[in-house]
């Protein structure tokens, strides 16, 4: 059984159709990168996986079960901004995630369990290169460091799926490259399934095992809102799916030979 399955998913707001007839299945361990022009519904798609939005029609299944329409601990998220809590230090930002899970009433741990969780969190912080900054508040960290922290925070509870919403969009190119290596090593080490929305086609090809392009197949110039976007290309990207076996790729449409040139036009 696939980890995620989308069956004829539609999303519309009133008259405006954002996504139409989206079909796909994703196995555990894949790294799916999602590209597409602005307003083509890629963030809407991510929000549906996250649970902040529900499909208008169709089914979105996780392990064969419909996804609940609110966020939960099976799906971690890193946003472009505002992903960490400004009132907690880096270490507390990671610790609090364990406290949510382990102390339902007070969300505070004491004694031995507290020391254990602190230790666990410190290890994860060092893994993302933030050991030196454990006692700093987010406003004292650079943009890249904040995103590292957000990754560590998302991973400590071991979610099934990690969702990344243009997580490196606001970072400098050099720092981006570092972050790419970090994400790839975390993906391998924690055997994650990742969905990442990005503007950057090169980034999408480089990081993913699979690249999805969202685009509108049908266009009505008099009613641009009448048709929604679909996954127009589903391409094997450079990387081998790592924890699991390589995945069979099925294209929605048969014209894959024209892809690169068209892709570049659509996503620039």
Partner 1 sequence: MTKLINRRPDRLQRLVLGALPFLLVAGLYLWGSEQRLQANPNDKLLPAPSKIIDTMERLAFEPSKRSGDYLLWTDTAASLQRLALGVSAGALIGLVFGIVNGAIPLAHANFSPMVTTVSLIPPMAILPVLFIIFGLGELAKVVLIVIGITPVLIRDLQQRVIEIPREQLIKAQTLGANTWQTIARVILPQIMPRLLDSVRLALGPAWLFLIAAEAIAATEGLGYRIFLVRRYLAMDTILPYVVWITLLAFSLDWILRAVSQRIWPWYHGKSRQQPVATS
Kindly list the residues in this chain that would bind partner 1 in the complex (CB under 8 A).
50, 52, 70-73, 75-77, 79, 81-89, 96-97, 99-101, 104-107, 135-140, 150, 153-154, 157, 159
Distance (Å, whole) CA 4 – CA 66: 10
Other C-beta atoms closer than 10 Å to the C-beta of 128 total 23
Question: From the CB of 83, what's the least distance to partner 1, in Å?
Answer: 6
> Angle at the Cα of 194 (from 242 to 254), degrees rounded to 5?
80
Nearest to 190 by CA among 156, 144, 145, 153: 156
Q: Whose Cβ is closer to partner 1: residue 8's or residue 52's?
A: 52
Question: From the CB of 115, what's the least distance to partner 1, in Å?
Answer: 19
Distance (Å, whole) CA 198 – CA 72: 23
Question: From the CB of 117, what's the least distance to partner 1, in Å?
Answer: 13
Q: Whose Cβ is closer to partner 1: residue 21's or residue 160's?
A: 160
Query: Cα-flanking dihedrals φ and ψ of residue 65, to 5°?
Result: -105, 145
User: Of all helices (H) and strands (E), which one includes residue 76?
Assistant: strand 75-78
Q: Whose Cβ is closer to partner 1: residue 81's or residue 176's?
A: 81
Q: Which two tokens stand for residue 79?
A: 């946003």
Q: Whose Cβ is closer to partner 1: residue 21's or residue 136's?
A: 136
Question: From the CB of 96, what's the least distance to partner 1, in Å?
Answer: 6
Q: Which two tokens stand for residue 170?
A: 């606001």
C-beta separation of 101 from 110 below 8 A:
no
Q: Whose Cβ is closer to partner 1: residue 50's or residue 60's?
A: 50
Question: From the CB of 163, what's the least distance to partner 1, in Å?
Answer: 8
């Amino acid at each position: 059984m696939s980890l995620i399955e989308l069956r004829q998913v539609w999303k519309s707001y009133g008259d405006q159709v954002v996504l139409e007839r989206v079909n796909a299945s994703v196995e555990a361990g894949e790294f799916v990168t999602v590209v597409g022009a602005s307003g083509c519904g890629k963030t809407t798609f991510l929000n549906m996986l996250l649970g902040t939005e529900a499909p208008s029609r169709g089914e979105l299944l996780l392990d064969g079960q419909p996804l609940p329409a609110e966020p939960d601990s099976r799906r971690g998220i890193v946003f472009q901004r505002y992903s960490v809590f400004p009132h907690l230090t880096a270490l507390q930002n990671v610790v609090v995630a364990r406290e949510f899970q382990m102390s339902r009433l007070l969300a505070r741990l004491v004694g031995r369990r507290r020391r254990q969780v602190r230790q666990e969190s410190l290890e994860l912080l060092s893994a993302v290169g933030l050991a030196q900054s454990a006692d700093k508040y987010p406003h004292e960290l650079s943009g890249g460091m904040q995103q590292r922290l957000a990754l560590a925070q998302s991973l400590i509870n071991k979610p099934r799926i990690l969702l990344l919403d243009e997580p490196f969009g606001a970072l400098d190119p050099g720092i981006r490259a570092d972050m790419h290596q970090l994400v790839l090593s975390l993906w391998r080490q924690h055997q994650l399934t990742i969905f990442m929305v990005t503007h950057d086609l090169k980034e999408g090809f480089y990081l993913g095992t699979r690249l999805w392009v969202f685009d509108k197949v049908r266009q009505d110039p008099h009613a641009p809102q009448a048709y929604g976007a679909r996954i127009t290309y589903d391409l094997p990207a450079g990387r081998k799916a790592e924890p699991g076996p390589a995945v069979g790729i099925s294209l929605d449409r048969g014209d894959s030979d024209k892809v690169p040139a068209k892709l570049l036009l659509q996503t620039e």
